[in-house]
Structure 1
Amino acid sequence: MNGNKFTGTGIALITPFTNNGSVDYNALSDTVNFQIKNGIDYLVVLGTTGEVSTLSCDEKISVINHIIEVNAKRVPLVVGFGGNHTQAVIQQIQEFAEFDEIDAILSVAPYYNKPSQEGLFLHYQAIANASPVPVILYNVPGRSGINISAETCVKLASEIENIIGVKEASGNMEQLMSILKNKPKDFLVISGDDAITFPLISLGGSGVISVLGNAFPKEWSQMVRLALDGKNKEALQIHYKMFGIIQNLFTEGNPAGIKAILSMKKLCENCLRLPLTPISESHYLKLSKIVEDL
């Protein structure tokens, strides 16, 4: 499987909502076009940042189909297929009718159940066997309550051809280095955390699936491209330029911070679905000042 199309900057795309709580398809179109116009490498939809857990099944299909139409194959498309019931995830894959329109799936570690590493391996093996497109693992122990160990990640990468990469958001640099050292050559290690994108690339990582890039696709894509090209001095300047935003982006939850910034940029309403809420007025003003200073 060719994973080169997922090297660089992927965007963990938001799902815009109107003030009455419905999906804002006009804003979704604007957001997709904004990303592509500003040089991102691929889109990732129906992930955490897209508030996927608050979307109905019908809304998920509508959002995917709308993005497929707007994107028009301009950039690769990754769709989230994950859960803590392996057979249910497989059924979702089997019932999905648009695999000829997407390039990979992103599958989060099964949350809440806290399976063993053997359970994680078998879970992903079953999903990979069911998927007609490549699979990218998503390791985010802070949300899922379970960590895909470096050993399990490398085993999946080595033994299952259809698993082409991992979005790593453990924040454990020793684990990341262990994966990078022992992985197959073409296996992608993608940052799931904007703050460590630059250091991960410098260690051999493949790029980022970014939240920050929703609002700053041009700048963040440029940073990633420079880092991948070994132009570390120039990349580091952008990294630190954006670091103040990254430090404050997730203070009151994700995607609350990025939606606030996107509302400042008139790309969407500052609306989330419960149990998530918009950031506080004081934090909104703080983020607004940081954005203005840029």
Structure 2
Amino acid sequence: MVHLVKKYEEIKQRLRGSVTPLITPFKANYEIDYEKQVELIEYQLDNGTHAISVTGTSGEPSSLTLEERVYVMENAKQAINGRVPFAPGTGSTNHDETMYLTKKAREIGADAAMVIVPYYNKPNQQALYKHFKTIADTVDIPIIVYNIPGRTAVNMEVETLARLREDCPNIIGVKESNKDFEHVNRVLLHCGRDFLLFSGIELLCYPMLAIGGAGSISATSNVEPKKVAEMHNAWAEGDIKRAQDLHFELMTLNDVLFKDTNPAPVKAALGMMGKIEPVLRLPMDVPNEALQKEIHQTLVDYGKLLQHT
């Protein structure tokens, strides 16, 4: 146990800054494009991203089979090759599937697993506690709880999270896609300020750093990884003005990328940039024509595209 606790503490020191929740690229025939996935990972690392996750919300996990989710994790782990921490999403609405995927993440050598609060089921707080505690007790991998009440219809309450932190040494942090800034403040108050707090709300990525957050897991970093990473670097270096400037500089891009359900606008943007085929699996689909025009103009304004393209 002492060895494991040391391992958990080591990853807590490394898993910080801009963690990109990578999209899952598809070919025109809807098959996963594993070569493009590798190219996207290189794009991220070339632009300073501090860590990578796959098969989180931006990775369309509910559109993938269990087998595909494992393949995506394995392909990403091989491509990253230890250059930055790797924390794939292993959560599901099904407890046994979550256990299976979290064990697979442990087997392939992931640095941590990001486990979403189960969606659709709407479990109560005691059920959430039992779900996460069972996973943490069974799989000796660092775990980041992923709380996104806007998609799950359930909020992981601070008291429940604090119980899990107290009882499970491998639950090392939380991704809070929670617009309630009072809530996220209380996470650090009750879970301890060494608990890793990541923002999953783009406009709160900088404010969470100010209260002691560890970083962000922002879909925008798929499109603009350099500036998202630079914001964290500036904060870490004490250049508050630069970090604030980047926060506001990213705001327009953040806004347009969330005018439709993530990751549809992100995939549209990456398609316009020539990074991927802008394909989503049903029931998801690309944004409407008006939003695509707005995304295109925003990319032009950010210097990601030329005006005539």
The TM-score range, normalised by the shorter chain, is over 0.9
**Distance in 1 between residues matched to 2:121 and 2:28, nearest whole Å:** 35
Residue deviations 1:9-67 (CA, integer Å, cap 9, x gap): 10000000111111112211110100011111111111110011111122212212211
Q: Which moved more, 1:82-91 or 1:125-134?
A: 82-91
- Percent identity, aligned pairs only, is 32
**Distance in 2 between residues matched to 1:190 and 1:104, nearest whole Å:** 14
Query: How do 1:101-120 residues align onto structure 2 when only pairs under 5 Å count?
Result: 101-120=109-128
Mapped contact 1:99–1:132 kept (Cα < 8 A): no
Give the structure-2-normalised TM-score.
0.91
Alignment counterpart, residue 13 of structure 2, candidates 1, 4, 27: 4
Query: How do 1:116-195 residues align onto structure 2 when only pairs under 5 Å count?
Result: 116-195=124-203
- The amino acid across from 1:57 in the alignment is L
Residue deviations 1:119-164 (CA, integer Å, cap 9, x gap): 1111110011112210100000010110001111122122210100
Mapped contact 2:112–2:142 kept (Cα < 8 A): yes
**Across the two proteins, how many residue pairs are aligned to each other?**
293
**Distance in 2 between residues matched to 1:108 and 1:139, nearest whole Å:** 6
Instruction: Give the root-mean-square deviation of aligned CA atoms.
Output: 1.4
Query: How do 1:1-294 residues align onto structure 2 when only pairs under 5 Å count?
Result: 1-2=8-9, 3-94=12-103, 96=104, 99-294=107-302
Contiguous gaps of at least 5 residues in structure 1: none
Mapped contact 2:70–2:101 kept (Cα < 8 A): no
**Distance in 1 between residues matched to 2:225 and 2:273, nearest whole Å:** 13
**Distance in 2 between residues matched to 1:115 and 1:253, nearest whole Å:** 24
Residue deviations 1:159-201 (CA, integer Å, cap 9, x gap): 2101000000111101011112222242101101111101111
Mapped contact 1:99–1:133 kept (Cα < 8 A): no
Q: Secondary structure at the match of 1:138?
A: strand
Residue deviations 1:237-260 (CA, integer Å, cap 9, x gap): 111111001111111111011111
**Distance in 2 between residues matched to 1:228 and 1:176, nearest whole Å:** 20
Give the structure-1-normalised TM-score.
0.95
Q: Secondary structure at the match of 1:177?
A: helix
Question: CA separation of 1:97/1:122 partners in 2, compared to 1, >3 Å: closer, same or farther?
Answer: closer
**Distance in 1 between residues matched to 2:127 and 2:189, nearest whole Å:** 24
- The amino acid across from 2:48 in the alignment is G
Q: Secondary structure at the match of 2:19?
A: strand
Q: Offset at 1:98? A: 5.7
Question: CA separation of 1:290/1:93 partners in 2, compared to 1, >3 Å: closer, same or farther?
Answer: closer
- The amino acid across from 1:129 in the alignment is D
**Distance in 2 between residues matched to 1:135 and 1:46, nearest whole Å:** 15
Mapped contact 2:114–2:143 kept (Cα < 8 A): yes
Q: Secondary structure at the match of 1:189?
A: strand
Mapped contact 1:158–1:184 kept (Cα < 8 A): no
- The amino acid across from 1:175 in the alignment is H
**Distance in 2 between residues matched to 1:98 and 1:148, nearest whole Å:** 24
- The amino acid across from 1:111 in the alignment is Y
Mapped contact 2:102–2:113 kept (Cα < 8 A): no
